[in-house]
Amino acid sequence: MQTILEQIRTALPPEGLFADKEWILSPKPFFVSEELYEQLEKLGYRLNLFNRACNELYQRSVAGKQPRWIADYLDRGKPPELIELSRQKQFRQEVPQVIRPDLVLTEDGFTIAEVDSVPGGIGLTGWLNQTYAGFGFDIIGGTTGMIDGFHSIVGENATVLVSKEAATYRPEMQWLSRMGGGRVQVRDAEDFPVESLTGENPSAYRFFELFDLPNIPGVQSLMQAAANGAARVTPPFKPYMEEKMWFALFWLRPLREFWRRELSERHFLELQKHIPYTWLLDPQPLPQHAVIPGLEINDWQELTTFGQKHRELILKISGFHETAWGSRSVVLGSDLPQTDWIKSIAHALKDFEHHPHILQKFHKGRLVDQPFFDLANGTVETMRGRVRLCPYYFVIDGKAELRGALATVCPADKKLLHGMKDAILVPTAVAPATS
């Protein structure tokens, strides 16, 4: 085991993978069953269908072929010039080419907390896959799956633009660039001259959130280059595709037939099993005889009277805000005192016009055991924890391909699962067959 620890430490890039971030090392990957692995393979296809359906629904809403309130919800808080750019015909079919859902493994399977189309962890997962595959484990994605997947979507002549807001992830992108032979360069988004996007089929990988545009001086030139076809930018400048409220729209009864038609009945029903029931906190009054499905209340203010055991609900901002990533805006109702819960609901309702919030059923992660290196004592111990599993799908030639999965094993007392210094980060492998 100590030999594995030494090899992991030796394999770490000199600059690290996350700037100023640490995690706990493990001698083994996180193992999933063959059955779960097959489910993960199918999930990529379904989420790619879902992304395309979301894009189509917005476009139809703008054109008046679906209710206008759909686009109105999704455009709230966005600058007019960005909305206009996202609607241009040449971008109509473009969707994010990296799909990373955050899965919470539960007693019944898994639930999808959200889907990230500008995710961190691509380089980290690539390094973990490469390192642990070298120990003989059957890693999902293999030794180079993440590396090859990323370079397939950005192309041979690409620049990764990393903003200061996303600087934590710059080292992993530099590692990815080296693993691709240096064909992809990593630059600061704030001082990147768009004129340098030259040569054959230049492209830029946008590693910054769209709320961050005011802090990137040359972004208007990049947007213009994308608009006139001088360069390809991925993920596309489509802020509506990066909203978390899509899960709420998925559950809305007036849109049920649209989802069934676009996804097919089978895939619609499968996604229903994994997408948690979600509500959009629209403060618009309901008729006196109506209730909000699943909550059975007539007014959002009634939420403030819920007792602690009935507040197993996640509240978070939908998108286009600095708190919309990294779990910064996420609160769990049952963990809050009543006064703080009341304040959180009031803030979400007040902020609806500019920053819509969503409410989501909370699903508790199941307990697992994962070995880890106790560096203080020089031993291998076992953590009892809960898992956030992040599979990475790269959309290559229209097909979502699973190229790796990052497992974050958090201590059992943590309900909100995310990367933290006391969590284990490991790649995912298929468990060896047993007799």
User: Quick one: tokens of 105?
Assistant: 């493994």
Instruction: Give Cβ neighbours of residue 297 (< 8 Å, ≥ 6 apart).
Output: 291, 303
Q: Reduced to 3 states, what is the DSSP secondary structure of residue 396?
A: strand
User: Quick one: tokens of 23?
Assistant: 């995690």
Instruction: Give Cβ neighbours of residue 66 (< 8 Å, ≥ 6 apart).
Output: 57, 60, 258
Residue 86, pLDDT score: 96
Q: Give 35's strand partners.
A: none
Task: From residue 407, give the alpha-carbon distance in Å to each of 13, 324, 348, 376.
Answer: 20, 21, 31, 23
Residue 370, pLDDT score: 97
Residue 20 CA, distance from chain mean position: 21
Which amino acid appears at position 250 of this protein?
F
Q: Reduced to 3 states, what is the DSSP secondary structure of residue 101?
A: strand
Residue 305 CA, distance from chain mean position: 32
Which residues of the chain fall short of a pLDDT of 50?
435
C-alpha–C-alpha distance, residues 435 and 50, integer Å:
38
Residue 19, pLDDT score: 83
Phi then psi dihedrals of residue 317, to 5 deg: -70, 145
Task: From residue 60, give the alpha-carbon distance in Å to each of 48, 167, 387.
Answer: 18, 36, 38
C-beta separation of 103 from 113 below 8 A: yes
Question: In 131-229, where do the E strands start and end?
Answer: 158-162, 184-188, 203-207
Residue 249 CA, distance from chain mean position: 17
Q: Give 58's strand partners.
A: none
Residue 226: its H or E element: helix 219-227
Residue 435, pLDDT score: 38
User: Quick one: tokens of 325?
Assistant: 């990533």
Q: What is the pTM of this model?
A: 0.95
Q: Where are the domains of the chain?
A: 285-356
CA dihedral 20, 24, 29, 33 (to 10 degrees): -110
C-alpha–C-alpha distance, residues 325 and 347, integer Å:
18
Phi then psi dihedrals of residue 278, to 5 deg: -135, 145
Phi then psi dihedrals of residue 108, to 5 deg: -95, 0
Cis peptide bond upstream of 235, omega within 30: yes
Residues of the chain by 3-state class (helix, strand, coil), percent to 5: 40, 25, 35
* Pairing outcome for strands 232-234 and 203-207: parallel
C-alpha–C-alpha distance, residues 125 and 120, integer Å:
9
